[in-house]
Each structure stands twice: as structure tokens, then as C-alpha cells.
Amino acid sequence: MSFQQGLSGLNASSKNLEIIGNNIANANTYGAKVSRAEFSDFYAAALNGAGTNNIGIGTALSAVSQQFTQGGITSTDNPLDLAINGKGFFQMTDGASPPAYTRNGQFKIDREGFIVNNQGMKLMGYGADGTGQIQPGLAVPLQLPTSGIAPKATTEVEIEANLDSTKPVTLQPAAPLITFSDADTYNNATSLTVYDDKGQPIALTFYFQRASVYDAAAGTIDQWNVYITANGQTIAPAGATDNSAPDPVQVIDFPADGSAPTNPTDPFLFDIPATVGASGVATLPILQMSFDLTQLTQYGSPWGVTNVLQDGYTAGQLVSVGFEDNGIVNARYSNGQSKPAGQIEVATFRNVQGLQPVGNNLWIRTFASGDPVVGTPGEGNLGVLQAGALEESNVDLTAELVSMITAQRVYQANAQTIKSQDQVLQTLVNLR
């Protein structure tokens, strides 16, 4: 027995206690990964490289290995908090050094609109063009838009409804065929707001008037007239130049069973002239607007509108940002619209234990880790994102406390070997 074995054991136990202490200290560090001490034994080499009775001369710390197992996911109230459920790392850049990698998704927005961590490093991903189309390729720092979204003029309108087949004919026998202020001259009405090129609202009102009732003997069919007003101004049917006496924009023919119209069977076009809105401001005309009435029915049940669609919207300002599980960054606007502002790119490595920790919940690539394999969340074997959540440390506090007790006892045992060797030497010194 020599002092070397005991001394190496003391050093090894001390290092083990340091690693355990670091694990415990980071038990509440989001994205942190538990470390494990890995030791190797020492043997003195014989001159001829052989020997069956070699006695070891101690131990040494071979590696501090981090365990990249999945940590628990905890929900937060911050929409900018992100957790990766599965493989992958967020890529961060300071604009000068090679990218660093992290599992800590505590992000913020800086004054320039970049998504950054607590050290000011920027999250990397793919940008998006003005229409919200993601531009995959080389990852760049993600920057959120500051401007609003431009308005879009309405080009399509669709109404899905049921016209009550039990209602009487309301078509007037002489002009005017309908009086919009007299509910006895039509059966039903519904309204919809559309938008011109400036995003100014135009209130459209659709009036449905029963014109005839199905009668096989008389050769008549179920027929309804549709009239439209825009901000109270009557809209003329296609090709008409004068609409002082309102004429139907479209005539709808229903089959005997009241199912989908036999006319029209496709959307038709109509023009909205310049009008004056409720605020007194003139609106721009909208030409060749598509109107789809093919989803109408005429059954013996009460009038009811089940769906109204139009594809225009007014201008809007950015109000919030959200993340999807595939990394898409959605910008939401005050007009109810949203569009992608970018997509997060994540990276993984063939040998994640080859990554070098550099502090601040960051790792950098090394020759041992290999080059990063990048992609979007959920692609291939990459994990998905969970917004409004963070990945907790994977430190098992109970296991670490037990390991600490074991390491402490091992330290004491190694100290005892040194004490025993000291007593042996003392006995030799005292020989006469």
C-alpha cells in the first residue's frame, strides 16, 4: 500500500463531490443537463508490458459526461418561453462567433425586434417575405416585424343559408319590385362588411325575395330574387346602367326538392360602386367581386344563415406573437389577421456528449460532436416546440443526495487508507 492510491481516491472523491454539487446547484436551471463523473483506474506498466500480478496505483477522473435526457416540461405564462420536446437545440448567435446551442428557451424581444436570450444572443431561423412565405435556407437571426399589415380589398363573398320554403311570395306586382324600408316586400335579409383597397369598410346588405312557388301543373319553379345595397346605395345588376328602381342582382332557381340551386351553379360577378360610408368618407369602388350562392338551400325550416365568408380586411397593427409546434413564428394583428414572420431552426448532433459547455446554458460544437444536423422542429428525428413552456433541468435531486452520501463515505475510506499507511510507516520508523 502506498499513499498514491489513497491520494488519488481523495482527489477523485473530491471531484465527484464538486460535480454532484454543481448538479444540485443547477437543479432549478432551465435547460441544464446533469453531469456524471467517469473514472478510470491506474496501473504501472511492466518493462515487458506483461504481468498478471499488477497492483493498481489509484484512480483518475477520465471525463465529466453530461446526460442529455429529456427534462420535464413546465408551463409558464410567458408566450416567448419555448421548450423542445425531443431532440434538438436552439441555435444562438452573437453575430461574431460561431453559433452556440442551448435547451433553455427563456427568450425575450430586444429593442430592434430580435428574439434574444438573457445574454443578448439572437435566436436563429428562417425569415419570411412580406406575404408570410417562409424562406428556407441559411439560418439568420429572427427579427419580428414592427410595421402593421396592409389592407386587402374583398374579392370573394360566400353565403351559406336556408331559405324557408313555407314563406309566401313577396315580389311586388309593379315597380318598385322591392322597398328596402318595407319588410313586407322581401322575406329575409342579412348583412356583411367588405373592404375596399384602402381597407375602408363597406356594409353590404343582401335581401332575399320570393318571386314564385313551385307548381308542376303551371310549369313554375321555386324562384328567389337577390338584391344588394352597399352603405345603403342600391347595387345594379351586371350590365345595368340605371337602377333607380331596384332590380335583382341575381335570380335563384331551386329544384323541387329544395336542394342546391340549379341557377346559378357557379359564383357570379358584380360591381360595388363608390359609396359614402357611415363616417361620411367616400369609399373606393370594388369591381368584379365574386358572389357565391351555391350553398343556399330551400327547405321547410326557418330562415338561417350558417356561414358568411369574405376575404378582405382592413389595415392592422402588430399586437402579439405566437409560436407553433413546427417552429413557425406567427405575427398577430389588430384586424384579426395573422401571418408567419419566420420559422425557428433547431440543430442536433450525432454525438451530443461531444459538445463543450461554455456556461450560460450554452454549448458549442467540437470535433468530437461532429457538425450540426439542422432542420425545423418536428422534422425527421427532431423534437417539436411547446410554446409557453420551459424544459426543467433533468437533475434528479434525490439521486444526487444519495450519490453525495456515497461520495462522502468513499472520501472517508480513502482517508483511512492514508491513515493506515501512515501507521505502517510509523511502526517501521520505531523499529530498533
Predicted pLDDT of residue 62: 84
User: Residue 387, Cβ neighbours under 10 Å: how many?
Assistant: 20
Predicted confidence (pLDDT) per residue in 393-424, tens digit: 999 898 989 988 988 888 888 888 878 887 88
Residue 255, pLDDT above cutoff 80: yes
Give residue-wise pLDDT tens across range 320-352: 888 999 999 998 999 888 889 999 999 999 999
- Read off the pLDDT of each residue in 100-123 and give the average, rounded to a whole number: 93
Q: Comparing C-alpha atoms, which of 3, 122, 103 is closest to residue 57? A: 3
Least confident window among 48-57, 252-261, 378-387, 395-404: 48-57
* pLDDT for residue 82 is more than 60: yes
Which CA distances in Å does 174 have to 179, 247, 274?
A: 11, 12, 29
Mean pLDDT, rounded, for 377-394: 92
Question: Which of 134-143, 217-226, 355-364 shows the lowest per-residue confidence on average (mean pLDDT)?
Answer: 217-226
126-130 LR contacts (CB < 8 Å, sep 24+): 126/342, 126/343, 126/345, 126/376, 127/342, 128/339, 128/340, 128/341, 128/342, 128/343
Cα dist from 142 to 185, 317, 361, 364, whole Å: 59, 19, 20, 20
d(CA 365, CA 349) in angstroms, rounded, equals 9
Residue 100 identity (one-letter amino acid): A
Q: In angstroms, rounded to a whole number, what is the distance separating the alpha carbons of residues 237 and 1?
A: 108
Task: Report the percent of the chain where pLDDT is more than 70.
Answer: 96
With 70 as the cut, is the pLDDT of residue 106 above it?
yes
Average pLDDT in the chain:
89
- Least confident segment among 28-37, 97-106, 373-382, 416-425: 416-425
CA–CA gap between residue 20 and residue 269 (Å, rounded): 74
Q: Are 279 and 161 in contact (CB under 8 A)?
A: no
173-177's contacts with Cβ under 8 Å and 24+ in sequence apart are 175/245, 176/245, 176/246, 177/209, 177/225, 177/245, 177/246, 177/247, 177/248
Query: pLDDT value at position 49?
Result: 56
Q: Taking the CA of residue 113 as centre, how many other CA atoms within 13 Å lie in the half-sphere pointing to its CB?
A: 14
DSSP 34-51: -EEEEEEEEEPPPTTS--
- Domain 156-310 homologous superfamily, CATH: Flagellar hook protein FlgE (2.60.98.20)
pLDDT digits (tens, 9 = 90+) for 279-316: 888 999 999 999 999 999 999 999 999 999 999 999 99
- What pLDDT band is residue 243 in, cutting at 50, 70 and 90? low
What would the mean pLDDT of 232-258 be, rounded to a whole number? 84
Q: Pull the grid cell for residue 146.
A: 414592427
Q: What is the pLDDT of residue 378?
A: 92
Domain spans of the chain, in order of start: 3-69+396-429, 75-147+318-391, 156-310
